[in-house]
Amino acid sequence: MSEYYWDSKIEYLRNTRWLYYNDDYLEFLVKNVWKMNTPINMVDYGCGYGYLGLKLLPLLPDGSTYTGIDKGEDLIKEAREIFDKLPYSVELMQGDIEEIQVHPQYDIALCHAFLLHMKNPRAILQKMIDSVRDGGRVCFEPHWIANAANFGFDDGLLHSEVVRLGVLQKLYEVDASRSGKDGNIGIKLPILLSQLGLRNVECRVSDKVNFLDRHMDAASKERLYPSLREEGIGQEPDEPSMTMEQLVERGLTAEEAQAQYAAELKLFQEFDSDSWLTYAPNMKISFGTVSRE
């Protein structure tokens, strides 16, 4: 069995990626914003099972290619099984972007919810730039505090009772300063891209909003509710003393940790398939132009 963490999370990835984007918005980006009218050769770093390829290839001009690179053996195997059944030009490689050598051979370098897991995302971005011919790049990355701010519950559950934004900001910022892994990197990517020399940098926000409606049809609810749970919304917290100890180790005071645990427990206890919930992931999509002239 693979020891790589994300090899064990294929079902999680499969069950949650769809929460982030509307297909018509991705089509709008490709055709109206990026104006991709000629075949594109794209590379996807940390590709997982090839989610971005599956979404973008049908929207791109015929002749476009997709190269996916991931550290996970099982993820690449899963991707190959999927793409072998599809009529696209695809190359899938197992590799670690921190170690592989790159050359400017692609038109677009992509990543999705990948940089937030990197200890040195700036260096990874530079590698992405180095793999692109003069042109551009697209990064789909989360901004956790915006994500946490964009929940709506029915009147029986107040947002401030279950999502403590100030405490979460502190946790994210301490985690980033300690490990280099920044869950809020999505909102910082335009700055980083500009600092690394890209021009005409822009950032878009996914328009996807998920609505769990008590009155929705059973099939839609049976798909949405488990995916929201798997995304972490209302998950059961671990044993209290262990959870609070971990929170203190991450930078909270004992009082903050106790209150945070109580908030997580309350959401777990009150959120169920008959709840009303609106949730906007607010994925940030940043891109710019590489120019070596």
CATH of the domain at 77: 3.40.50.150
pLDDT of residue 156: 85
The two counts, helices (H) then strands (E), for the chain are: 12, 10
Residue 132 lies in a domain: yes
111 occurs within a structural domain:
yes
With both helix axes pointing from N to C terminus, report the angle between 254-270 and 165-179 in degrees, rounded to the nearest 10: 120
Report yes or no: 285 and 134 within 8 Å, Cβ to Cβ.
no
Q: How many separate domains does the chain show?
A: 1
The tokens for 198 are 């890209």
Q: Which of 59, 51, 183, 214 is nearest to 121 (CA)?
A: 183
- Strand pairing partners for 151? 279
Please work out, in degrees rounded to the nearest 5, the angle formed at the alpha carbon of residue 43 by the alpha carbons of 126 and 172: 55
Residue 266 lies in a domain: no
CA distance 197 to 199: 6
Q: Is residue 272 part of a domain?
A: no
- Bridge partners of 44, per DSSP, are 68, 110
Question: What local confidence, expressed as pLDDT, does residue 46 receive?
Answer: 97
**Residue 242 covered by a domain:** no
Measured between alpha carbons, how far is 251 from 254 in angstroms, rounded to an integer? 9
Has residue 96 been placed in a domain? yes
127 in a domain, yes or no?
A: yes
Burial of 153 (0-12, 13-18, 19+ CB in 10 A): buried
Per-residue model confidence as pLDDT tens for the chain (293 residues): 678 999 999 999 999 999 999 999 999 999 999 999 999 999 999 999 999 999 999 999 999 999 999 999 999 999 999 999 999 999 999 999 989 988 999 999 999 999 999 999 999 999 999 999 998 999 999 999 999 999 999 978 999 999 999 999 999 999 999 999 999 999 999 999 999 999 999 999 999 999 999 999 999 999 999 999 999 999 999 999 999 999 999 999 999 999 999 999 999 999 999 999 999 999 999 999 998 87
Q: In which residue are the tokens 């992931």 written? A: 281
What pLDDT is stored for residue 1 in this prediction? 60
Alpha helices in 60-211 (DSSP H): 73-83, 121-130, 144-149, 159-162, 165-179, 185-195
Cβ pair 107, 37 in contact under 8 A: no
Q: Residue 28 belongs to what domain range?
A: 5-143+184-209+282-290
First to last CA, the chain: 47
pTM of the model: 0.94
Query: Per the domain annotation, does 47 fall within a domain?
Result: yes
